[in-house]
Amino acid sequence: MTEIEDFAGPFWEGLNRNEFRVPSCDDCGTVVFPPGPICPECGSDELTWGEIDPVGTLHSVTQQHRTPPGFDSPIVLGMIDLDAGPRLLSPIDAEYEQLSIGDRVRIEAVDYDFAFDRGPRADDPFFTAVVVDDV
Amino acid sequence: MTTATVAGISTLPNDTYDAEERDMAATVLGDALDDAAVEPGDVDGLYMPKPRPWTSQKFFSTFLTRWLGLDLDRSLEVYTGGTSGGTAFRSAVADVRSGAVDTAAVLAVERNSTVETDDYFEYILGIFDRQFQSPMGPSIPAVYAQSLQRYCYEHDVDRETIATVVEKNRRNAESNPDALFYESAAPTPAEILDSRPISDPLRLYECPAPTDGAAALILTSDGSDDVDVEVTGIGYDHPPSHLIGVRGESMSRLPAAAGGTEAALDDAGLDAEDLDVLEPYAPFPHVEAIITEEMGLFERGEGARAAADGRTATDGEIPVSPSGGCIGRGHPAMVTPLINHAEAVRQLRGTAANQIDGARSVLTTSEHGHVDGMNAAVFEVKR
């Protein structure tokens, strides 16, 4: 029987050790995030997992005032362009007023404590961004 | 290829309704059939966006088919967020063009008054990436707030200029009896920017008010007796984008808007400059501005300034959202695309609330997520 692969499994296993593990395309070098079955740039399925330094630049930012039930309000969210290539949406552990487009940030693992059913990821940490000045 | 003609239209004013969705749907369908002078028994295609998840009646199109005694060669009930109504319409046009269907009914109904805010927010969480995004609690305005932020940053556009897009659309809605904000004084840019923050920097008056609504259009393969409004172009584009844009591309860009409108204009054999009116699906003010830029009507960063300068007003060089758009009319997202289409037809019949003199071509759009995908349609009058 065909085995169904947990395509992002190694990411969450890595995050449990505060490592940011992602697949990269063997053919074109694209770092694939969220981790998936193929390279979204060239379509290759030759992917190799490795650890990257999850530093990047704040592409944009918002402070969301109305939040879903089970979430604190307000929450600060940003889109981060990682130096390694991918863009991700991330919570940011900072005051909204202190943030600007172009700020340098790093993704870190954090305990997850909101009332959202993450299914099979329920026991895994999540991530947040913190502002860094020295990278 | 057979030409698809819009023979009939009907819309309910955007408002709050106590009536059940089935009764709203049957009312607009009946009125659109009357407008088209077509009998229910002539309808051989039914196309609709799947009503929202909080609609109690499921299998809505199947229910309608038996209730109204329709005997169909094609039917479609599709759900892809805000594009749904446009996708239903595009499919209907394709089936009329191919000859699969002679008389297509395109129908949408939505009641946002029946959903609790918490339940809506929980539903919206589900459209984000369940593994990597939903756990942080995002909302749709939180995504659009970030493209607004980026647009202002890259093009040095101030917030007052963005607010003039809202002011224009609210002014247009003042004289549109179908609009939620009909006869409601448009706020000034200062009042818009003083309204309460929703997701910084977006303010309440910059966000579309959810309402109830319903609309129907009848497409035929054999034209109508008086003014013929033809669907001359349909287009769609969905680049690899899901809420945070296309890899390597700024959030201030909307590639689907460029691709979808270009496809529809190519289909119609027109250039963007040939259009007389735009009725875009633009739930937030900067989206309207960026769509006009992606179409090549204005330089990048100039779309909002064009509104401030009156160039997109009803008496401007290219009127945009003369009906008031999502912001002025209110926004039942499943219905909005069909309201845009109905407004296009009214402009071409010469019966629009804010009539643009001599309008002969109108382009409409619909989009989903963060304009991840876009439908576009071109309507032209053939007298």
Would you state the pLDDT for residue B226? Answer: 65
Mark whether A122 and A91 lie in a shared domain: yes
To the nearest whole angstrom, how far is the Cα of B130 from the nearest Cα of chain A? 7
Residue B134: closest CA among chain A residues belongs to which residue?
A: A116
Mark whether A75 and A10 lie in a shared domain: no
Mark whether A113 and A132 lie in a shared domain: yes
Contacts of B247 in chain A (CB under 8 A): 40-41, 85-87
Q: Which of B132, B134, B137 sits opposite A67 (nearest CB)?
A: B137
Is residue B1 pLDDT above 90, yes or no?
no
A74 prior amide bond cis, ω within 30: yes
Asked whether the beta carbons of residue B125 and residue A68 sit closer than 8 angstroms, the reply is: yes
Residue B122: closest CA among chain A residues belongs to which residue?
A: A68
Contacts of B146 in chain A (CB under 8 A): 59-62, 77-79
A29 contact B CB<8A:
no
- Residue type for B73, please? D
For domain B4-115+214-220, give the CATH number.
3.40.47.10
Closest CA to A60 of A88, A40, A83, A86: A88
A42 contact B CB<8A:
no
Q: Are B233 and B265 in contact (CB under 8 A)?
A: yes
What is the average per-residue pLDDT within B191-217?
98
Strand order in the sheet with B361-368: B74-78, B45-49, B103-111, B212-220, B4-11, B228-237, B373-382, B361-368, B277-279
Q: Which of A8, A40, A69 sits opposite B122 (nearest CB)?
A: A69
Q: B374 — alpha (psi -120 to 50), left (phi > 0) or beta? A: beta
The residues spanned by each domain of chain B are: 4-115+214-220
Would you state the pLDDT for residue B225? Answer: 60
Structural domains of chain A, count: 2
Mark whether A113 and A75 lie in a shared domain: yes
Query: Which domain CATH number covers A96?
Result: 2.40.50
Q: How far is CA B248 from the centre of its chain?
A: 28
Interface probe, candidates A89, A111, A117, chain B, greatest B C-beta count within 10 A: A89
B201 prior amide bond cis, ω within 30: yes
Two tokens at B246? 């296309």
A91 prior amide bond cis, ω within 30: no
Mark whether A92 and A34 lie in a shared domain: no
Mean pLDDT of chain B: 97
C-alpha gyration radius of chain B? 19
Would you state the pLDDT for residue B224? Answer: 61
Would you state the pLDDT for residue B314? Answer: 98
Mark whether A123 and A108 lie in a shared domain: yes
Q: Can you give the residue range of the structural domain that contains A24?
A: 1-52
Mark whether A37 and A60 lie in a shared domain: no
What is the average per-residue pLDDT within A20-34?
98
Cα separation, B345 vs B306, in Å, equals 25
Residue B149: closest CA among chain A residues belongs to which residue?
A: A60
Mark whether A41 and A63 lie in a shared domain: no
What is the average per-residue pLDDT within B14-30?
98
Give the dihedral sign, CA B146/B147/B148/B154.
Answer: positive
Torsion of CA A111, A117, A118, A124, to 10 degrees: 30
Two tokens at B350? 């010469």
B128-187 pLDDT, tens digit each: 999 999 999 999 999 999 999 999 999 999 999 999 999 999 999 999 999 999 999 999
Contacts of A34 in chain B (CB under 8 A): 129, 131-132
Would you state the pLDDT for residue A51? Answer: 98
* DSSP symbol at A92: B
Would you state the pLDDT for residue B332? Answer: 98
Mark whether A83 and A46 lie in a shared domain: no
CA distances to A15, A115, B12, B192 from A25, in Å: 20, 35, 52, 47
Two tokens at B198? 């929703």
To the nearest whole angstrom, how far is the Cα of A111 from the nearest Cα of chain B? 12
Q: Which of A41, A59, A68 sits opposite B137 (nearest CB)?
A: A68
A126 contact B CB<8A:
yes
B206-242 pLDDT, tens digit each: 999 999 999 999 999 986 666 689 999 999 999 999 9
Residue A14: enclosing H or E segment and its boundaries?
A: helix A9-15
A98-132 pLDDT, tens digit each: 999 999 999 999 999 998 999 999 999 999 999 99
B105-129 pLDDT, tens digit each: 999 999 999 999 999 999 999 999 9
ipTM: 0.98
Contacts of B241 in chain A (CB under 8 A): none
Closest CA to B10 of B40, B37, B41, B31: B31
What is the average per-residue pLDDT within B319-336?
98
Which B residues in the span 184-203 are in contact with A, Cβ-Cβ below 8 Å? 196-202
Residue A9: closest CA among chain B residues belongs to which residue?
A: B131
Asked whether the beta carbons of residue B131 and residue A118 sit closer than 8 angstroms, the reply is: yes
High-pLDDT (> 70) share of chain B, %: 98
When pLDDT is cut at 50, 70 and 90, the band that residue B25 belongs to is very high
Asked whether the beta carbons of residue B118 and residue A90 sit closer than 8 angstroms, the reply is: no
B128 CB contacts (<8 Å, ≥6 apart)?
A89, B134, B138, B243
Cα separation, B279 vs B83, in Å, equals 14
Would you state the pLDDT for residue B15? Answer: 98
Would you state the pLDDT for residue B30? Answer: 98
B250 contact A CB<8A:
yes
What is the average per-residue pLDDT within B46-71?
97
Mark whether A78 and A98 lie in a shared domain: yes
Cα separation, B344 vs B280, in Å, equals 10
Cα separation, B172 vs B174, in Å, equals 5
Residue A11: enclosing H or E segment and its boundaries?
A: helix A9-15
Contacts of B245 in chain A (CB under 8 A): 79, 87
Is residue B383 pLDDT above 70, yes or no?
no
Contacts of B197 in chain A (CB under 8 A): 63, 65
Asked whether the beta carbons of residue A101 and residue B153 sit closer than 8 angstroms, the reply is: yes
How would you classify the pairing of strands A126-131 and A104-110?
A: antiparallel
Q: Which of A8, A59, A114 sits opposite B135 (nearest CB)?
A: A114
Asked whether the beta carbons of residue B138 and residue A77 sit closer than 8 angstroms, the reply is: yes
Closest CA to A76 of B145, B131, B129: B145
Number of inter-chain CB pairs under 8 A, A vs B:
110
**Which residue in the block uniquely carries the two structure tokens 């990597």?**
B132
Is residue A27 pLDDT above 90, yes or no?
yes
Contacts of A101 in chain B (CB under 8 A): 149-150, 153
What is the average per-residue pLDDT within B270-277?
98
Q: How far is CA B47 from the centre of its chain?
A: 16
Q: Which of A65, A68, A121 sits opposite B122 (nearest CB)?
A: A68
Which B residues in the span 214-243 are in contact with A, Cβ-Cβ below 8 Å? 240, 243
CA distances to A135, B107, B154, B332 from B377, in Å: 48, 16, 30, 19
Two tokens at B116? 């609790």
What is the average per-residue pLDDT within A64-70?
96
Instruction: Please write down the HEC assignment for all residues of chain B.
Output: CCCEEEEEEEECCCECCCCCHHHHHHHHHHHHHHHHCCCHHHCCEEEEECCCCCCCCCCHHHHHHHHCCCCCCEEEEECECECHHHHHHHHHHHHHHHCCCCEEEEEEEEEHHHCCHHHHHHHHHCCCCCCCCHHHCCCHHHHHHHHHHHHHHHHCCCHHHHHHHHHHHHHHHHCCCCCCCCCCCCCCHHHHHHCCEEEECEEHHHCCCCCEEEEEEEEECCCCCCCEEEEEEEEEECCCECCCCECCCCCCCCHHHHHHHHHHHHHHCCCHHHCCEEECCCCCHHHHHHHHHHCCCCCCCCHHHHHHCCCCCCCCCCCECCCCHHHHHCCCCCCHHHHHHHHHHHHHHCCCCCCCCCCCEEEEEEEECCCCEEEEEEEEEEC
To the nearest whole angstrom, how far is the Cα of B359 from the nearest Cα of chain A? 39
Asked whether the beta carbons of residue A79 and residue B251 sit closer than 8 angstroms, the reply is: yes
Closest CA to B218 of B78, B106, B108, B109: B106
